[in-house]
Chains A and B, each alone.
Chain A
Amino acid sequence: MNRYTLAAALVLTLAVSVPAADWAQFKGPNASGVSPEKNLPTEWGKDKGVAWKAKLPARGVSSPVVFGDRVYVTCSGGVRDDKLHVVCFEATTGKQLWHRQLKATGSTAAHPKSCMAASTPVADETGVYALFNTGDLAAFDADGTLRWYRSLVGDYPTITNQVGMASSPILVKDRLIVPMDNAGESFVAAVDTKYGKNVWKVERPREINWVTPLVRTVGSATEILFDGPSGLTAYDATSGEKRWASKLTKGSIPTGTLDGDTLFMPTGGVTAFKLGAKGVEGDPVMKAKDVVPGMPSPLVYLGRVYAVTGTGVVSCADAKTGKLLYKESLKGAFSASPVAGDGKVYFLNEKGTCSVIDGKAAEFDVIATNELGEETLGTPAIAGGRIFIRSDKDKMLYAIGK
């Protein structure tokens, strides 16, 4: 290969590999639910506007995650729900690249609506980290090589939650943050991404909790913000040391969102707190008591805060003042959290119907209603100009878009 060809190949490689925004974890960048991408799909159907679709090996209520040209999905199945799956697809084509299975080592008890694939995996350029409700935790390289595996129930046998768990792991540099609030030994731990060993592990109250931690940078420190029934705690990402705590918010199901130094939490509707170096500063800066989240997490997008209840009541308020802009009903039950990008807000109900709302309009403006006709409980992912939706019992993964 001559110099010219090499340079051309390099340029081409870079052009191809420059990723659109990744959607690496639950609700995308820092669990915001917001993609910076443009030209996102507005209209689709089961056989319209779908770039590709792929069969999944089993059900799941976790979200797909996308990093570079890899889409990762977790599933669980078998009559005992003890067969755990991690599947990797090529994002551009939908080609299945690899599929690995594990056998559950912890209890598979859960509410029938959920399953063992409820926590969303987290990905980086090296691969994917999958946590199942059974406490099985595995890291796979992007090519499917098992980097490491742990049975957290084997390590900490009292872990138990017969309702089922759903908090998702997140990444902070070379550390995997593992939330494990449950009725038994509860903790949040930082695990090194290379070998899967504990860097630190901090005891937590023995309470069941489905909230996913957030990450905040404060000066030179990085904090893990983990809300739960006993309050919000900020841990130092390096040491696990508690930096501050607040009882102003007590979460259990939906996850809040961080917009700059303002923390929007699903408490009293949605309440916003200004965060300083030492935690929550003063009284709430915004209260949107009429913006009521159910199981889905609230969304902050283009200066507005959104929420949807389990029965489909969508509410939207000004993110600065809390003034209610509208409260309208969509059809169906909702488990998936709303996500947004390209000026649109996507509300996906449990029957595969996604209502696309104009995120710039001052009023409730449904610009499209798209039917997949399949049960959808997991939150969609947005990456590479596409929306990735996984169905639950119909066991399909859709890449919506061109």
Chain B
Amino acid sequence: MPRWIRCAALVALALAAPPLRAADAETTRALATIKGVTKEGKGNEDAGPAWKVLVGKGGPALFPALEAFDEGNATASNWLRAAVDAIAEGEAAAKRPLPGDKLEAFVKDTKFAPTARRVAYELLVAQDESAKDRLLPGFLNDKSPDLRRDAIARELDIVEKLARPTIKADLEKLFAHTRDKDQVDLLAKKLEANGGKASVSEHFGFVTALSLVGPFDAPDGKGYLTPHPPETAKDATGVFTGKENTVLKWGAHTTADKYGSFDLNMLLGKHKNAVAYAMAVVVAEKDTPVDVRVTSITSVKVYLNGKELAGRDEYHHGAAFDALVGKGTLKKGENVIVVKVCQNDQKEQWAQNWFFQVRVCDDTGGPLPLKQKAGDKLQALGYVAETESKKGDTK
């Protein structure tokens, strides 16, 4: 279809569809009040009465409340989340079904907050199970992680049942869209079982080639708060003084681990009260907003082009995937990402691990067309040479 016809059709559709709901002045005021809540309960004294006004409006306030969700104000969105429940509960008690067509239109409309769309989807499905089959096929690449996940799971089920000759291509499509680690692993496995290839590390955008330097001294387990020169390094050329006055230089390392893990005990040796730095050079073809996501079992900070993006000061409590998310923008060309990884002096056997993973992705956790520098070579983020991937280790 030519582009102008598509545009005209979209405009016509937009004009034909009435607004979901025009809020009355009282509702508008109540919503504004709720959205005015900030930190430490500021605004709660007004938000409470406003919540009652909103819920008291019943069904007519449902869509204004959903429309008011704001991913940038999670506190206000939770006030609204509870209001939507109360409104829906009131409608159910009055035996008034929620307007399915309007809920469906809301769920489809990506200008609304993904969280609100998911809530609307759940309300809709609760009263019309068949909505799943109508809606989910359109959500394979949705901003809502839950809608996306459900859409992929449903499609995978269909693809496997049909077992069409195109199954490899079908699975490749799903693999490209999937974001959750368990679903990525599942699809990679199924794709490979059907003769396809799936690079989990490239899909996640893991840095698999970088330079390391360490250990630096971090007395009393205070490495997180103690700065060392590599934090602001622009390249991997410096010479530093490390623990016990050792001379430290950057060394190049790669990993073949499909989750991009670098084991510092193996690469730098076992150290206590220590800090190590990793430097990756990531190349973007244009200015690109990114998430820099780090997984580590110890305290960790991440810097982009000399600026601290994010940090978490916690030792040996677990290594939740993507536990640290820093948001930044890569500039066109080369960008320096530095990860500071700390180790404390806990003696327990389970507290000896020292490793990290870092990936660069979009805000859904999906891959971006970025390259990493490995010596003089430019390669895709997550690149693992085929021979190395079979070994699955770091060096």
Q: Which residues of A contact B (CB under 8 A)?
A: 78-80, 98-103, 105, 107, 109-111, 136, 138, 140, 144-151, 154-155, 158, 160-163, 183-184, 191, 194-198, 206, 208
Contact = CB atoms under 8 A, between A and B. Distances in A.
B347 to A, nearest CB: 15
Given A79-B149, A138-B82, A198-B40, A146 B318 contact: no
A98 B87 CA distance: 11
Nearest to B315: A183
Q: Which 7 A-B pairs have the closest CB atoms?
A: A162-B318, A109-B320, A183-B314, A197-B41, A162-B317, A148-B44, A146-B82
Interface of B: 37, 39-42, 44-45, 47-48, 51-52, 55, 74-75, 77-79, 81-83, 85-86, 89, 115, 145-146, 149, 180, 312-315, 317-320, 323
A111 B41 CA distance: 30
A77 to B, nearest CB: 11
A145 B313 contact: no
B314 A160 contact: yes
B48 to A, nearest CB: 6
Contact of A150 (B40, B319, B320): B40
Contacts of A158: 312-313
Given A145-B55, A191-B41, 14 more contacts: A80-B145, A102-B78, A103-B81, A105-B78, A110-B318, A136-B78, A144-B89, A146-B51, A146-B79, A148-B47, A151-B74, A158-B313, A195-B41, A208-B317
A146 B83 contact: yes
Contacts of A111: 318
A146 B48 contact: yes
A150 B48 CA distance: 12
Contacts, number: 113
B47 A150 contact: no
A140 B115 CA distance: 22
A149 B115 contact: no
Contacts of B85: 98-101
Contact of B75 (A101, A105, A162, A194): A105
Contact of B40 (A99, A155, A160): A155
A145 B48 CA distance: 9
Contact of B318 (A98, A136, A163): A163
A109 B82 contact: no
B82 A149 contact: yes
A149 B318 CA distance: 28
7 contacts: A99-B85, A100-B82, A102-B81, A146-B48, A146-B51, A146-B86, A162-B314
Contacts of B41: 148, 150, 191, 195-198
Contact of A183 (B86, B149, B317): B317
Given A144-B89, A150-B75, A195 B48 contact: yes
Contacts of A195: 41, 44-45, 48
Contact of B317 (A105, A151, A163, A194): A163
A99 B314 contact: no
A11 to B, nearest CB: 30
Contact of A154 (B75, B79, B312, B319): B75
Given A109-B320, A163-B318, A147 B48 contact: yes
B156 to A, nearest CB: 15
Contacts of B115: 103
A184 B314 contact: yes
Q: Is the interface of B mostly helix, strand, loop or mixed?
A: helix
A270 B111 CA distance: 59
A108 to B, nearest CB: 8
B4 to A, nearest CB: 41
Nearest to B297: A162
Contacts of A107: 320, 323
A145 B39 contact: no
A103 B75 contact: no
A48 B263 CA distance: 55
Contacts of A161: 314, 317
Contacts of B83: 146
B146 A78 contact: yes
B40 A197 contact: yes
A101 to B, nearest CB: 6
A208 B317 CA distance: 9
Contact of A162 (B47, B81, B320): B320
Nearest to A137: B41
A117 to B, nearest CB: 16
A206 to B, nearest CB: 8
B296 to A, nearest CB: 10
B145 A103 contact: no
Contacts of B82: 100-102, 138, 140, 146, 149
A111 B312 CA distance: 18
Contacts of B77: 103
Contacts of B81: 101-103
Contacts of A103: 74, 77-78, 81, 115
B78 A160 contact: no
Nearest to A99: B85
Find the residue from B40, B52, B78, B86 having the highest chain A CB count within 10 A: B78
Nearest to B182: A79
A107 B40 CA distance: 19
A148 to B, nearest CB: 4
Contacts of A80: 145-146
A136 B79 CA distance: 11
Contacts of A78: 146
Nearest to A147: B48
B86 A144 contact: yes
Contacts of B312: 158, 160, 184
A154 B37 CA distance: 12
Nearest to A136: B78
Contacts of A147: 48
Nearest to B78: A102
Nearest to B119: A101
A151 B77 CA distance: 11
A98 B92 CA distance: 11
B303 to A, nearest CB: 18
A177 to B, nearest CB: 15
A183 B79 contact: no
A80 to B, nearest CB: 7
Contacts of A105: 74-75, 78
A80 B365 CA distance: 14
A145 B86 contact: yes
Contacts of B42: 197
